[in-house]
């Protein structure tokens, strides 16, 4: 029944694009390096399916995560605890999702030992964003994310919920992207706050880590490709190649204990679709460079097997019904990538 609900929801709500033929195998990139980053300074953020994934990772590995930035996503395990499934979790149809139901689901998985106890969430910090002109994930769905964290015991003072911008379904970059309010590729908008370009990456990182040093005008390094096949097979839906930004202060020769921030792209937003728009142009790297933060940009591509034609992160079960636990294919892969970056 769950599988049927997933397929019906995909057809009725996601407006799937035509399947493309698989691309030729990529030449494997270099291994992700071990950099001795700080295991106590791990955080995540994401847009759309990447926002759902950021919630999943944050909840499942809450004991080792310090915060999350959620842009146009939904609450934990949303599809399987709400009538309407994907429809409820995107278009709020027939009803918006329930944050309280997601808390109950998380507590159940924690009792089974499949995720960390959700009590760890109370010590984290959160940035939530919903554009008023978002036609893909309704603001009432993001309201349920706010309710989920509050019901899970997170103090309201640790949650910053931004929902007044006339933005579309998009990351908000300070100097790159579509006009504010656009719901189209590459799913990056430019919006202003009091006449100044809104810098969402800076807002996310400062909410999680506290006051930051001014962002770097010139980067000390460039994003590099790494081999994701070491961490996940093609059955996971993940691409052969991911990307990582490593500031010069965080390389192997440095004594600095850098933080790690994972950025999950949205549907139709992997490098195969939008090039370096996410991993180079959003603005995360400039803030990371001057604040000793390694930024990991894992990738999911469109595929026919598994059935994922829009290149979304798995928040509805296309890789298996354990997708929202620590044992899920994609969740395990990302956690192992983070462990690599924090290992000596």
The single residue listed with the structure tokens 């931004």 is 162
Q: Using the 8-state DSSP alphabet, how is residue 119 labeled?
A: G
Domain presence at residue 17: no
The tens digit of pLDDT for each residue in 84-104 reads 999 999 999 999 999 999 999
pLDDT at 238 over 80: yes
Instruction: Confirm whether 236 is a catalytic residue.
Output: no
Of the pLDDT bands very low, low, confident and very high (cuts 50, 70, 90), residue 27 is low
Domain presence at residue 105: yes
22 contacts: CB under 8 Å, gap ≥ 6: 303, 304
Of the pLDDT bands very low, low, confident and very high (cuts 50, 70, 90), residue 256 is confident
Query: Percent of the chain, pLDDT > 90?
Result: 90
Nearest residue to 97 (alpha-carbon basis) of 165, 61, 62, 143 = 143
How far apart are the two ends of the chain, measured CA to CA in Å? Answer: 45
Domain presence at residue 27: no
Q: Please answer whether residues 82 and 59 qualify as being in contact, where contact means their C-beta atoms are separated by less than 8 angstroms.
A: no
Mean pLDDT of 241-259: 91
Residues constituting the chain: 344
pLDDT at 8 over 50: no
Distances (CA, A) of 140 to 63, 96, 132, 182: 28, 6, 10, 19
**At residue 262, what are phi and psi to the nearest 5 degrees?**
-100, 125
The tens digit of pLDDT for each residue in 52-74 reads 999 999 999 999 999 999 999 99
Instruction: Confirm whether 48 is a catalytic residue.
Output: yes
pLDDT at 22 over 50: no
pTM for the structure as a whole: 0.92
Q: Using the 8-state DSSP alphabet, how is residue 14 labeled?
A: S
Average pLDDT, the chain: 92
The tens digit of pLDDT for each residue in 142-190 reads 999 999 999 999 999 999 999 999 999 999 999 999 999 999 999 999 9
Domain presence at residue 258: yes
Overall domain count for the chain: 1
Domain presence at residue 197: yes
The single residue listed with the structure tokens 């990139």 is 29
Q: Which tokens belong to 28?
A: 């494997």
35 contacts: CB under 8 Å, gap ≥ 6: 246, 250, 251, 252, 258, 294, 341, 342
Domain presence at residue 24: no
Domain span including residue 167: 36-342
Which residue among the candidates 45, 102, 120, 134 is catalytic per the annotation? 134
Of the pLDDT bands very low, low, confident and very high (cuts 50, 70, 90), residue 16 is very low
Domain presence at residue 11: no
Instruction: Confirm whether 134 is a catalytic residue.
Output: yes
The sign of the dihedral angle between the CA atoms of 142, 204, 232, 223 is positive
Which residue among the candidates 102, 116, 120, 169 is catalytic per the annotation? 169
Domain presence at residue 20: no
Which residue among the candidates 45, 48, 249, 303 is catalytic per the annotation? 48
The tens digit of pLDDT for each residue in 306-336 reads 999 999 999 999 999 999 999 999 999 999 9
């Amino acid at each position: 029944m769950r599988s049927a609900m997933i397929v019906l929801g995909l057809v009725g709500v996601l407006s799937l694009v035509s399947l493309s033929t698989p691309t030729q195998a990529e030449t494997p990139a270099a291994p992700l390096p071990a950099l001795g980053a700080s295991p106590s300074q791990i955080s995540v953020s994401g847009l759309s399916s990447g926002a759902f994934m950021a919630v999943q990772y944050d909840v499942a590995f809450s004991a080792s995560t310090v915060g999350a930035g959620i842009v146009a996503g939904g609450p934990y395990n949303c599809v399987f605890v709400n009538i309407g499934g994907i429809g409820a979790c995107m278009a709020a149809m027939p009803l918006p999702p329930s944050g309280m139901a997601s808390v109950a689901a998380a507590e159940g998985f924690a009792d089974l030992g499949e995720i960390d106890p959700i009590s760890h969430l109370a010590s984290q910090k959160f940035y939530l964003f919903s554009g008023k002109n978002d036609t893909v994930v309704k603001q009432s769905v993001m309201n349920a994310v706010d309710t989920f964290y509050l019901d899970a015991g997170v103090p309201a003072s640790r949650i910053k919920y931004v929902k007044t911008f006339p933005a579309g379904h998009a990351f908000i970059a300070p100097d790159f992207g579509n006009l504010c309010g656009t719901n189209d590729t590459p799913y990056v908008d430019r919006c202003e706050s009091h006449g100044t370009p809104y810098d969402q990456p800076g807002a996310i990182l400062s909410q999680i880590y506290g006051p930051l040093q001014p962002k770097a005008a010139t980067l000390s390094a460039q994003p590099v490709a790494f081999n994701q096949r070491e961490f996940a097979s093609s059955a996971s839906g993940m691409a052969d190649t991911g990307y990582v930004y490593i500031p010069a202060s965080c390389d192997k020769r440095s004594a600095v204990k850098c933080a790690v921030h994972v950025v999950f792209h949205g549907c139709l937003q992997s490098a195969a679709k939008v090039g370096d728009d996410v991993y180079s142009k959003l603005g995360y790297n400039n803030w990371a460079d001057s604040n000793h933060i390694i930024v990991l940009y894992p990738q999911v591509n469109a595929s026919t097997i598994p059935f994922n034609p829009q290149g979304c992160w798995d928040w509805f079960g296309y890789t298996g019904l354990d997708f929202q636990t620590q044992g899920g294919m994609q969740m395990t892969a990302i956690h192992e990538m983070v462990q690599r970056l924090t290992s000596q």
